[in-house]
């Protein structure tokens, strides 16, 4: 990009002593700050990517030098010196580029973006080097060592212990046996043992064959897909691996990574939040002898730093992580893989609102490497790119196992009594499946007992005091909970409006289905899997281990269960209600609910037995649902694309959403209206082809006692949209009061 050229010129003309350092500082302000260098220059001279401590207001902050210059806008006497320099070696140039690109694309402060992209210890100023540990080994023969230790029994035992380990032992392995550091130091002082520092993370001494188990022979489609990517491993080459669930996409990833590793390069694999399971990791670790480094939310800050450092130094050949792993630097990038590329968790919904898949594309382009986006249900964005030929479209239409993915069978709910959300014919089908020794997955996208509680006398419905939403009834333990703000109240005994005791739960959630199924099938275990039943991570793993043993059983769960998990014994999938996305106001709702339905359906018939998928609906004649059931996801997706084109929606038009929220409705209204007016005037003058809609109330206007309004910008031209967004932000920075919180979301995933 243009900027990096400017920097390198600056570096060239001012090799070691620039007069001014332009520093990105972690503040929301969208600008750099000038400082004077102080102290000895780093060995490679001052250059972008060096971390410095700088005085900022009353505080000292860790910032990053972004450019070196000889001139500042500031008068010389106002130019403060930096506090100190933290690194001798700059952060990688590609990493800086990615952060700069992200900040510019999402119109976010660069200082904040860099801060977000760095592991916490580096943000806090910790030195940029791998943490090490000490490895101890015998420095002489055992006899020689023992000879001098007659009167030191503990040191003798320690020497004997070390003698059993020719590769030596790390400190923790020694102290855990009851030895002390003083004993180690004593032996070291006598020259009987030696101590060596080694990097803490895996990857340090991995050599030899790549694979721990042989790769599977690929079927024809898999082989063709792999060959297509292998053809161009040394250039930017975006591919969409579009393969039905169970078609062996993961096997293609594994063999692609094998090829990349064989060239001595690294692979970065991004997976959805829900997809980074012990199961996924185990699959990678089983295949490769090479270390697989995982970046997930369960790591401590130091572990995260170690993983980051292992990737940056090139010691980690394979890095797997969720959204934020896109900011992991690689010493020798070879490929980026985004699994389940359509998944919503790749988009960050607050603060820096980036989309990891989109950044992955930009990054692969910059680093000139192939990128593989995999999905059974590609996003309309990626599908449009594939159709236009900008991405290579690789298809896997066959399942690796014998069975084709099950078709969706629509079941008419209208006018039929339900038990725990299920109608009689569906309950019969469950009975059949259990009798045939199968497992049944009941998918219901609502946790709790019932989505609401109503009075049968007067029609009162329990609503949240803080939001425009209903309270969900929970039974374990009994209470009403708002799923939008977590506000809780005890379950009332009588109607607060009319005093009647006839309060009834409306609809069914996971707890209610679980209760009903346990009553209907008393001899079959029922496992409920949702956020409530699995607050502890071990609880979830335990449940899954239990389920995978394959005994007949009923699984009731939300999308936690529907995605990512391999459930080979499920032969029947029941979708309690498919209607949520059909008539929702959000333009992506239908795409997302079709993806979810297909993913859920994909759980059925994965192993030897073929499966069935029953989808309950109040709208069995809905044309979109019919198309999905009869012709599959692709047919629906292409039709939705056509509709998006006609309606002027993404991916054919680009959107940016400005959100405003305040405690007082009038404050949010006033600012959003003023912003809209100012923007329209500016657009008129600039003659930019950008459309501004609103302000309109957000779909849920009151949430957590705050009022939400939004302005939507849309344009055929990205550059025009960005220019407008940047102008709007400038206007808001100057005009907004503290009472109103605002943000601008580029490429919003939801309009809520
Ligand atoms: P996807 O990622 O597309 O859902 P997976 O990669 O998980 O599919 O593959 C589904 C199942 O098929 C796995 O059990 C996998 O081991 C198996 N499989 C994949 N490719 C092959 C192959 N070429 N030969 C035999 N089995 C395969
Ligand atoms: Zn009432
Ligand atoms: Zn609420």
In a domain, 467, yes or no: no
- Statement to judge: residues 154 and 239 lie in one domain: no
Q: Which domain holds residue 441?
A: 408-450+507-643
Question: Which of 326-340, 570-584, 611-625 bottoms out in mean pLDDT, i.e. has the lowest?
Answer: 570-584
Q: Which of 84, 99, 123 is the last residue of a domain?
A: 123
- Statement to judge: residues 573 and 638 lie in one domain: yes
In a domain, 67, yes or no: yes
> Residues 590, 551: contact at Cβ < 8 Å?
no
Q: Provide the pLDDT for residue 530.
A: 83
Question: Which of 510, 602, 597 has its CA nearest to residue 556?
Answer: 510
How far is ligand 1, taken at its centre, from the CA of residue 346, in Å?
24
- Rounded-to-integer distance, Cα 738 and Cα 246, Å: 51
In a domain, 479, yes or no: no
- Statement to judge: residues 195 and 90 lie in one domain: no
In a domain, 210, yes or no: no
- Statement to judge: residues 378 and 234 lie in one domain: yes
- Statement to judge: residues 436 and 583 lie in one domain: yes
Beta strands in 225-281 (DSSP E): 237-243, 266-270
Among the bound ligands, the one closest to the CA of 503? 2
User: Does the structure show a pLDDT above 90 at 424?
Assistant: yes
In a domain, 724, yes or no: yes
Question: Which of 148-162, 638-652, 696-710 bottoms out in mean pLDDT, i.e. has the lowest?
Answer: 148-162
Q: What is the DSSP letter of 352?
A: S
Q: Provide the pLDDT for residue 697.
A: 94
Among the bound ligands, the one closest to the CA of 249? 1
DSSP 283-332: HHHHHBSS-EEEE-TTS-HHHHHHHHHHHHHT--SEEEESGGGGG---SS
Q: Provide the pLDDT for residue 8.
A: 43
- Statement to judge: residues 337 and 413 lie in one domain: no
User: Does the structure show a pLDDT above 70 at 6?
Assistant: no
Looking from the CA of residue 401, the nearest atom of ligand 1 is 12
In a domain, 679, yes or no: yes
* Confidence bin at 205 (pLDDT 50/70/90): low
Best mutation site among 225, 247, 250, 342 for ligand 1, i.e. most ligand atoms within 8 A of its Cβ? 250
Q: Provide the pLDDT for residue 73.
A: 85
How far is ligand 1, taken at its centre, from the CA of residue 190, in Å?
58
- Statement to judge: residues 178 and 313 lie in one domain: no
- Rounded-to-integer distance, Cα 239 and Cα 225, Å: 9
- Element (DSSP H or E) covering residue 593: helix 589-601
- Statement to judge: residues 183 and 140 lie in one domain: yes
- Statement to judge: residues 663 and 629 lie in one domain: no
- pLDDT average, residue stretch 307-334: 93
In a domain, 471, yes or no: no
> Whose structure tokens read 């959805």?
272
- Statement to judge: residues 690 and 608 lie in one domain: no
How far is ligand 2, taken at its centre, from the CA of residue 452, in Å?
14
Q: Which of 620, 643, 666 is the last residue of a domain?
A: 643
* Confidence bin at 507 (pLDDT 50/70/90): confident
Domain count of the fold of the chain: 5
Q: Which of 372, 396, 420 is the last residue of a domain?
A: 396
In a domain, 205, yes or no: no
How far is ligand 1, taken at its centre, from the CA of residue 227, in Å?
17
| Position with higher pLDDT, 603 vs 305 | 305
Read off the CATH number of the domain in which 35 is found.
Answer: 3.40.1440.60
Looking from the CA of residue 218, the nearest atom of ligand 1 is 23
> Whose structure tokens read 């500016």?
682
User: Does the structure show a pLDDT above 50 at 417?
Assistant: yes
Read off the CATH number of the domain in which 627 is found.
Answer: 3.40.50.300
Q: Percent of the chain beyond pLDDT 90?
A: 64
- Element (DSSP H or E) covering residue 553: strand 553-557
Asked whether 219 lines ligand 1 (CB < 6 A), one says yes
- Cα dist from 605 to 21, 60, 202, 600, 634, whole Å: 61, 59, 37, 11, 20
DSSP 496-534: TTT--S-EEEES--HHHHHHHHHHH-TTS-EEEESTTTT
pLDDT tens digits, 615-635:
999 999 999 999 999 999 999
pLDDT tens digits, 38-79:
989 998 899 999 999 999 999 999 999 999 988 888 887 888
- Statement to judge: residues 170 and 24 lie in one domain: no
pLDDT tens digits, 692-701:
998 999 999 9
Three-state SS string across 124-171, please? Answer: CCCCCCCCEEEEEEECCCHHHHHHCCCCCHHHHHHHHHHHCCCCCEEH
Q: Provide the pLDDT for residue 237.
A: 94
DSSP tally for the chain: helices H, then strands E: 23, 30
- pLDDT average, residue stretch 239-261: 94
Among the bound ligands, the one closest to the CA of 486? 3
Best mutation site among 243, 245, 248 for ligand 1, i.e. most ligand atoms within 8 A of its Cβ? 248
- Statement to judge: residues 148 and 101 lie in one domain: no
How far is ligand 1, taken at its centre, from the CA of residue 429, in Å?
28
pLDDT tens digits, 91-123:
999 999 999 999 999 999 999 999 999 999 999
User: Does the structure show a pLDDT above 80 at 131?
Assistant: no
Looking from the CA of residue 247, the nearest atom of ligand 1 is 3
User: Does the structure show a pLDDT above 90 at 306?
Assistant: no
- pLDDT average, residue stretch 644-664: 95
- pLDDT average, residue stretch 185-193: 90
pTM: predicted TM-score of the whole model, two decimal places: 0.88
Q: Percent of the chain beyond pLDDT 70?
A: 95
Read off the CATH number of the domain in which 678 is found.
Answer: 3.30.70.600
């Amino acid at each position: 990009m243009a900027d990096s050229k400017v920097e390198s010129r600056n570096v060239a003309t001012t090799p070691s002593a620039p007069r001014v350092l332009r520093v990105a500082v972690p503040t929301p302000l969208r600008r750099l700050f000038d400082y004077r260098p102080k102290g000895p220059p780093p060995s490679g001279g001052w250059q972008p990517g060096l971390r410095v401590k700088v005085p900022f207001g009353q505080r000292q902050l860790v910032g990053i030098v972004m450019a070196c210059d000889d001139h500042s806008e500031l008068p010389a006497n106002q130019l403060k010196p930096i506090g100190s320099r933290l690194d001798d070696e700059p952060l990688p140039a590609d990493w800086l580029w990615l952060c700069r690109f992200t900040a510019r694309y999402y119109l976010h402060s660069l200082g904040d973006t860099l801060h977000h992209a760095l592991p916490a210890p580096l943000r806090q100023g910790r030195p940029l080097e791998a943490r090490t540990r000490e490895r101890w080994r015998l420095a002489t023969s055992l006899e020689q060592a023992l000879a001098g230790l007659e009167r030191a029994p503990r040191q003798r035992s320690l020497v004997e212990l070390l003698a059993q380990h020719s590769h030596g032992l790390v400190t923790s392995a020694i102290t855990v046996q009851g030895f002390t550091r003083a004993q180690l130091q004593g032996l070291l002082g006598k020259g009987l043992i030696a101590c060596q520092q080694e990097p803490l993370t895996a990857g340090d001494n991995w050599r030899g064959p790549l694979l721990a188990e042989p790769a599977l022979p690929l079927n024809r489609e898999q082989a063709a897909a792999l060959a297509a990517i292998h053809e161009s491993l040394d250039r930017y080459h975006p591919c969409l691996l579009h393969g039905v669930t169970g078609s062996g996409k993961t096997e293609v990833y594994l063999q692609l990574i094998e090829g990349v590793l064989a060239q001595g390069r690294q692979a970065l694999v991004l997976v959805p939040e829900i997809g980074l399971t012990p199961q996924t990791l185990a699959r990678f670790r089983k295949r490769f002898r090479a270390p697989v480094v995982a970046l997930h939310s369960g790591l401590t800050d130091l572990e995260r730093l170690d993983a980051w450092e292992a990737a940056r130094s090139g010691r980690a050949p394979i890095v797997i992580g969720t959204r934020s792993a896109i900011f992991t630097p690689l010493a020798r990038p070879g490929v980026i893989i985004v699994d389940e590329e359509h998944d919503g968790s790749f988009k960050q919904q607050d603060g820096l609102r980036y989309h990891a898949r989109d950044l992955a594309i930009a990054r692969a382009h910059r680093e000139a490497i192939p990128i593989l986006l995999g999905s059974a249900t590609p996003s309309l964005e990626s599908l449009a790119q594939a159709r236009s030929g900008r991405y290579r479209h690789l298809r896997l239409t066959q399942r690796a196992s014998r069975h084709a993915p099950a078709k969706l069978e629509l079941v008419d709910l209208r006018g039929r009594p339900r038990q725990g959300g299920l109608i009689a014919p569906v309950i019969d089908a469950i009975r059949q499946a259990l009798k045939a020794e199968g497992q049944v997955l009941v998918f219901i996208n609502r946790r709790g007992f019932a989505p609401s509680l109503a009075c049968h006398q007067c029609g009162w419905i329990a609503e949240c005091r803080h939001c425009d939403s209903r309270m969900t009834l929970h039974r374990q333990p009994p209470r009403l909970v708002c799923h939008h703000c977590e506000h809780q109240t005890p379950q009332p005994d009588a109607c607060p409006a009319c005093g009647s005791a006839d309060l009834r739960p409306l609809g069914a959630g996971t707890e209610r289905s679980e209760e009903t199924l346990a009553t209907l099938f008393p001899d079959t275990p029922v496992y409920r899997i949702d956020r409530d039943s699995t607050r502890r991570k071990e609880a979830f793993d335990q449940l899954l281990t239990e389920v995978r043993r394959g005994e007949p059983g009923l699984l009731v769960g939300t999308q936690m269960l529907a995605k990512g998990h391999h459930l080979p014994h499920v032969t029947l999938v029941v979708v309690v209600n498919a209607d949520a996305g059909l008539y929702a106001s959000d333009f992506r709702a239908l795409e997302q609910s079709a993806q979810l339905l297909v993913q859920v359906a994909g759980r059925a018939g994965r192993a030897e037995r073929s499966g069935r998928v029953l989808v309950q609906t109040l709208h069995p004649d809905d044309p979109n649902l019919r198309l999905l059931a009869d012709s599959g996801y692709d047919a629906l997706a292409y039709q939705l694309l056509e509709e998006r084109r006609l309606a002027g929606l993404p991916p054919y038009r680009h959107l940016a959403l400005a959100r405003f929220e305040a405690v007082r409705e009038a404050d949010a209204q006033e600012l959003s209206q003023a912003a809209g007016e100012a923007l329209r005037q500016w657009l008129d003058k600039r003659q930019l082809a950008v459309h501004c809609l609103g302000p309109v109330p957000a779909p849920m206007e009151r949430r957590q006692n705050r009022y939400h309004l939004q302005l939507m910008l849309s344009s055929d031209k990205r550059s025009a949209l960005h220019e407008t967004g940047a102008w709007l932000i400038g206007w808001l920075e100057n005009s907004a009061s503290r009472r109103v919180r605002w943000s601008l979301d580029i490429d919003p995933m939801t309009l809520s």
